């Protein structure tokens, strides 16, 4: 019996080399912006105590209720693959007492997250995030900086005219008061809500606003309901209101496009005050490219000292899908191909190894004919082929063939590097990806 064929687990994907170059480009661009904002990288484990997520994401959130990759290890520890990284970052902040090293910390992270959702375009069970957390200050300027950083990363990727959806979710007390109003507003149509939303209406009415169910969305639009949907901004306490006004003023000062979204509550429970998201409607249902907000009670909930924080995460899978829709193109990687004859083949390994201290170099490993090597170079997309011909090699010369324009010249080995550099220099007016931005 032949062994069963394996496939990547449902909801996961292989990123093949044809895609990883785009990913590396996107990650590098984001890192450049993060560096300029003086954020420093933190790496936390991909799994943590289940309890960490239950306590921070919220017992009634979908992430904890339905989407957690929860497991026991061989010693019976209750663990979970991280559905997001903010909780782990805060856990690490407390565990290593980063507060002792300075009051304000600017941190970023990137890596896979895991949520057991129903897979569809833009939603995976393993997906990548890049995120940033600004920990240690309540100042509205911190929210403004985080949103500016968020937008600047998208702009570095080539997005234009982004509008940030923004709301304030107040404090736990205002949220409770708002939840009561929302429940009251929705109760007359309770029976028409989806099963999930009916349950949410009891446990945590704000979650109903997060529903993706079409019927629910229609109801939330106010159809058949008395009066418009209650707004969180109308029940904010004085300090949160002032904070909100200051954040909006800061965004205006920087000219950051934003639109107030009264239905924006976020899917995780740890938020206080500012909450924001960016959407790309071309992606359909899974349109949120990233989101974040303030979480002033999270550190305390984890048993740490009261420490405010604000941050965001961007979903890279969706962002790259959206960029594909905008047909962003990457330049082909530039590399050289060394081709040899029967006679010069023994010199190839040493020659290639020396070249590889400076350039990306490919070559034939199978003693194929010169003709086959030239075809292979062309197929692989090499820019230059360095041909080690018998006669030339004896004279200390190398033939440099430019596959771009077909030109060919024979150069002295001493001049090889200069020749390669000259030929690889971008031609005036040539379009590069950088120019496309």
- Please give the residue ranges that form the binding site for ligand HAM (CB under 6 A): 84-86, 115, 117, 122-124, 127, 129, 131, 133, 267-268, 288-293, 295, 311-313, 315, 317-318
Closest separation in Å from C-beta 132 to ligand HAM: 8
Residue nearer to ligand HAM on the CB measure, 170 or 311: 311
* Nearest distance in Å: CB 151, ligand HAM: 14
Closest approach of ligand HAM to the CB of residue 284, in Å: 13
Q: Which is nearer to ligand HAM, 147 or 388 (CB)?
A: 147
Judged by beta carbon, residue 290 or residue 297, the one nearer ligand HAM is: 290
Give residues with Cβ within 8 angstroms of 34, minimum separation 6.
108, 132, 149, 153
CB of 265 to ligand HAM, least distance (A): 11
56 or 419, CB closer to ligand HAM?
56
Shortest separation between residue 286's beta carbon and ligand HAM, angstroms: 7
Is residue 249 classed as helix, strand or coil in its secondary structure? helix
**Is residue 231 helix, strand or coil?**
coil
Q: Is 9 exposed, middle or buried (0-12, 13-18, 19+ CB in 10 A)?
A: exposed
Contact call for residues 309 and 296 (beta carbons, < 8 A): yes
Token pair for 302: 């984890």
Pick 110 or 230: Cβ nearer ligand HAM: 110
* Smallest separation (angstroms) from ligand HAM to the CB of 316: 8
State which residue, 162 or 374, has the beta carbon closest to ligand HAM. Answer: 162
CA–CA distance, 343 with 244 (Å, rounded to integer):
75
Kind and range of the H or E element at 238? helix 238-254
411 exposure class (CB count in 10 Å sphere: 0-12, 13-18, 19+): middle
188 C-beta neighbours (distance < 10 Å), count: 11
Q: How far is the CB of 266 from ligand HAM (least distance, A)?
A: 6
Strands 258-260 and 272-279: unpaired
- 99: Cβ contacts below 8 Å, ≥ 6 apart: 93, 136, 305, 307
Q: What are phi and psi of 418, to 5 degrees?
A: -60, -45
Return the number of the residue (165 or 177) whose C-beta is nearest ligand HAM. Answer: 165
Token pair belonging to 161: 């005219």
């Amino acid at each position: 019996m032949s062994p069963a064929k394996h496939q990547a687990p449902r909801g996961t994907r292989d990123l093949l080399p044809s895609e990883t170059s785009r990913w590396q480009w996107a990650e590098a661009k984001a890192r450049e912006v993060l560096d300029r904002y003086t954020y420093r990288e933190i790496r936390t484990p991909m799994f943590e105590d289940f309890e960490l997520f239950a306590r921070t994401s919220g017992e009634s959130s979908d992430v904890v209720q339905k989407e957690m990759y929860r497991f026991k290890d061989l010693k019976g520890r209750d663990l979970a693959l991280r559905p997001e990284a903010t909780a782990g970052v805060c856990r690490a902040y407390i565990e290593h007492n980063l507060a002792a090293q300075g009051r304000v910390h600017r941190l970023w992270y990137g890596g896979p997250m895991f949520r057991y959702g129903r897979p569809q375009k833009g939603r995976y069970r393993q997906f990548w995030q890049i995120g940033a957390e600004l920990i240690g200050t309540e100042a509205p300027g911190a929210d403004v900086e985080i949103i500016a950083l968020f937008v600047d990363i998208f702009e570095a990727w080539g997005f234009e005219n982004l509008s940030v959806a923004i709301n304030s979710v107040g404090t736990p007390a205002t949220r409770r008061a708002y939840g009561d109003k929302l429940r009251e507003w929705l109760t007359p149509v309770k029976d028409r809500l989806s099963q999930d939303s009916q349950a949410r209406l009891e446990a945590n009415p704000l979650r109903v606003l997060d529903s993706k169910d079409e019927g629910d969305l229609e109801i939330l639009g106010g159809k058949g309901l008395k009066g418009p949907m209650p707004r969180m901004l109308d029940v904010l306490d004085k300090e949160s209101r002032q904070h909100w006004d200051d954040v909006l003023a800061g965004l205006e000062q920087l000219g950051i496009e934003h639109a107030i979204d009264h239905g924006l509550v976020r899917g995780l429970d740890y938020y206080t005050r500012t909450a924001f998201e960016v959407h790309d409607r071309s992606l359909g249902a899974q349109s949120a490219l990233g989101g974040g907000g303030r979480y002033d009670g999270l550190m305390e909930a984890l048993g740490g000292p009261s420490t405010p924080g604000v941050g965001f995460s961007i979903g890279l899978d969706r962002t790259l899908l959206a960029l594909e829709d905008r047909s962003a193109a990457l330049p082909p990687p530039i590399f050289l191909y060394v081709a040899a004859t029967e006679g010069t083949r023994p010199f190839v390994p040493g020659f290639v190894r020396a070249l590889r201290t400076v350039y990306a170099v490919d070559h034939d490993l199978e003693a194929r004919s010169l003709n086959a090597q030239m075809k292979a170079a062309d197929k692989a997309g090499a820019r230059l082929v360095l041909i080690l011909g018998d006669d030339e090699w004896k004279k200390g010369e190398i033939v440099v063939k430019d596959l771009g324009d077909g030109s060919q010249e024979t150069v002295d080995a001493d001049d090889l590097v200069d020749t390669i550099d000259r030929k690889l220099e971008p031609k005036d007016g040539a379009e590069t990806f950088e120019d496309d931005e």
